[in-house]
Amino acid sequence: MTRTWQITTVTDAARARIATARLAAAYGVPTLERTRLATSLSAHLRQCLTKGGTWCVALEVVPPAAASGLLHATVTPVPETNAEGEPPWRMTVSCPDAAGTADGEVPDDPAALAEALLGADEDTALTLEKLAEQEELVAFHREELHQTNQGVVALHAELDAAGRAQREAFAAERKARTEAENARRRLTFLADASAVLTASLNHDEIVRRLPDLLVPRYAAAVDVWLFDHEDDRRRTAPHPAAAVLAARTGRPQYAADHPGGLPGVTDQPPSALDPTRPLLCIPLPTRRAPLGVLTLSPPGERWDPDDAVMLIELTRRASIAIDNARRFEHNRDIAETLQRALLTDLPTTPGLRLAARYLPATHGLNIGGDWYDAFRQPDGSLITVIGDVTGHGLHAAVMMSQLRTALRAYAVDGGSPGQLLTRLHVFLHHLQPDLYATAVIARFRPDDPTVTWAAAGHPPPVLRMADGRVHTLDAKPGAMLGIPLRQEIGDHTVRLSPGSTLALYTDGLVERRAQGIDPGIERLAAALGAFDSAQLDADLDGSADRLLDPLLSDSERDDDVCLLLCHIDSTAQPATSRPPARSDGLRL
């Protein structure tokens, strides 16, 4: 169905608007859509009247194809009265009741127009009411949105604060991890460097190692000033004022043109010797007085305070290592001097040759209680002895010298080797109850083809006969000297012949921790049996060296070695003035 109206005047426009509203209501167009259609049509018709001419309003209802139909409103110019080219105005609304019928005619009398106008106001009132409801709804949603926005803003603020707190926590964790790693690195370096410094007992070597440990990681340059150990060149070399002050006060000093901020360190002006270079001067402390001063220059512009604390601690440990090394060297020099002084020259006896060797341990204090001696008794017999005091160091060397002196004193009164060892046993037990010793004494008499010997806890002598056979004199020995036990040490006698050689030795020659002592004694016997009498007659000293070489092939020994060879010349005439003596304690 289609309705049309010709619009020329305002009355025509009002009549068309009213008819449109009534038809839209009749076809079930909702109030809001109906009001929108009427209002839009009125506004366009007002524009058309302003332009002038005749306009055609057409309403077309399209029946519903499915749920609802459509109402098309069109305003077009009449070609005879309007300029061509004016575009038509169109608007379409849905109408649920498009199948119904309605009369869109509006009478011309004022009462009908007034009624239509009032009806239009009712639609407008309904629209405004809807609008008010929507405004209230919009205001409600606006307030809700505002509250939501406030919550979102607050949430964003909380998230931002949480993010900042998390970033700060991560930064603190990274800082703590870095500090922990740096502390671990410093402790590891301090432990490793301390192990290197304390591994040596040579104070010159410790001083040489310090720069290698510190440069370039913790210092660009290192100078070690030892007060009583300077060569001629460095005696005249000036030292920084901060180093001198550190030596006087015993407190670390920092000399630079800026404060160091180092804990436990006093700031000083820059050194006149090198004003551009900061210096950290750390005394080398001991219990009595500083040994010297360690002067360092930083690897960069300045030191980290924690690095400075570590350097001060390392210097303290280096000072202890140097002081210990000096004490060790001092005691070693005293003991070696004492020990060498006690190893006197061997006496010469017709028909009897003596050769002795003493070798200190290859590591440790290099001194011990091993000793050998040979001297004459008043009756003309020759006493040869070799012994070993337990322990090492100065104390063992002093006790060895006392035993040696006591033995010589007891031998003046005569007595057999067993009697001399018995007296030494009593002497040592009363002199030093917690110290023990072992010894072997052999006595050679002029014109006597026998040797009398006695042992106290010592490895057995080894005898090489003139025909090359080798015997181990393992007759029952006495116990160690000095043990809390009363004992009478017995004598043993062995017949000798020209060309025979008796070897006395200490356990350092034959004993090895991994093998024990018996294999070493067997090696000694085999080595001694490899010589012939002519070699021993011609060069007993050289034979002693050649005997030691295969037995001391070890690169290191942890005990001293003492060897005493007693050789009867092959050209010596056998004695006949005495009856043959018995031989006991022989083991091939």
Average confidence (pLDDT) over 516-522: 88
One domain, residues 358 and 328 = no
Q: What are the pLDDT digits (tens) for 538-549? A: 899 999 999 998
Final residue before a domain boundary, out of 336, 358, 374: 336
Does 116 fall in a domain? no
One domain, residues 328 and 361 = no
Contacts of residue 559, Cβ cutoff 8 Å, sequence gap at least 6: 361, 368, 506, 507, 508, 511
Whole-number pLDDT of residue 105: 66
Q: What are the pLDDT digits (tens) for 250-270? A: 899 999 988 988 999 999 999
One domain, residues 515 and 570 = yes
Whole-model pTM: value is 0.55
Angstrom distance (rounded) from CA 63 to CA 69:
5
Average confidence (pLDDT) over 399-414: 89
235: domain range? Answer: 203-336
Average pLDDT for the chain: 85
Instruction: Using a pLDDT cut of 90, give the percent of the chain over it.
Output: 41
Coil, strand or helix at 302: coil
Whole-number pLDDT of residue 103: 60
One domain, residues 328 and 396 = no
Give Rg (Cα) of the chain.
Answer: 61
Residue 536 has pLDDT above 50, yes or no: yes
Residue 231 has pLDDT above 60, yes or no: no
Alpha helices in 70-200 (DSSP H): 110-198
Average confidence (pLDDT) over 508-522: 85
Angstrom distance (rounded) from CA 451 to CA 458:
18
DSSP string for residues in 240-294: -HHHHHHHHH-S-EEESSS----TT-EEEPPPSS-TTS-EEEEEE--SSS--EEE
Whole-number pLDDT of residue 11: 85
Reading the block at residue 85, the tokens are 């080219």
Grade residue 558 by pLDDT with cuts at 50, 70 and 90: low
CATH number at residue 246: 3.30.450.40
Final residue before a domain boundary, out of 295, 317, 336: 336
Comparing 406 with 126, the larger pLDDT belongs to 406
What single letter denotes the amino acid at residue 362? T
The tally of domains found in the chain comes to 3
Final residue before a domain boundary, out of 89, 106, 123: 106
One domain, residues 393 and 289 = no
Reading the block at residue 17, the tokens are 């608007």
Average confidence (pLDDT) over 397-411: 88
Angstrom distance (rounded) from CA 141 to CA 404:
116
Angstrom distance (rounded) from CA 12 to CA 17:
9
Average confidence (pLDDT) over 303-320: 91
One domain, residues 362 and 446 = yes
One domain, residues 437 and 534 = yes
Reading the block at residue 216, the tokens are 């370039």
One domain, residues 414 and 501 = yes
One domain, residues 251 and 273 = yes
Question: For tokens 């192990």, what's the residue?
Answer: 195
Exposed, middle or buried by CB within 10 Å (0-12, 13-18, 19+), for 560? buried
Q: What are the pLDDT digits (tens) for 452-504? A: 999 999 999 999 999 899 999 988 889 999 999 899 999 999 998 899 999 99
Does 171 fall in a domain? no
Q: What are the pLDDT digits (tens) for 29-71? A: 888 888 888 889 999 999 988 888 889 999 888 877 666 788 8
One domain, residues 439 and 465 = yes
Angstrom distance (rounded) from CA 53 to CA 78:
8
Question: For tokens 């991994």, what's the residue?
Answer: 514
Does 74 fall in a domain? yes
Q: What are the pLDDT digits (tens) for 93-151? A: 888 776 666 565 666 667 766 666 666 667 777 777 888 888 888 888 888 888 989 98
Average confidence (pLDDT) over 516-545: 90
End-to-end CA distance of the chain: 149
One domain, residues 485 and 581 = yes
Number of Cβ within 10 Å of residue 312's Cβ equals 19
Does 576 fall in a domain? yes
Instruction: Using a pLDDT cut of 70, give the percent of the chain over it.
Output: 86
Say which range, 78-82, 152-156, 169-173, 302-306, has the weakest mean pLDDT: 78-82
Whole-number pLDDT of residue 552: 82
One domain, residues 424 and 544 = yes
Whole-number pLDDT of residue 570: 85
Say which range, 139-148, 208-217, 384-393, has the weakest mean pLDDT: 384-393
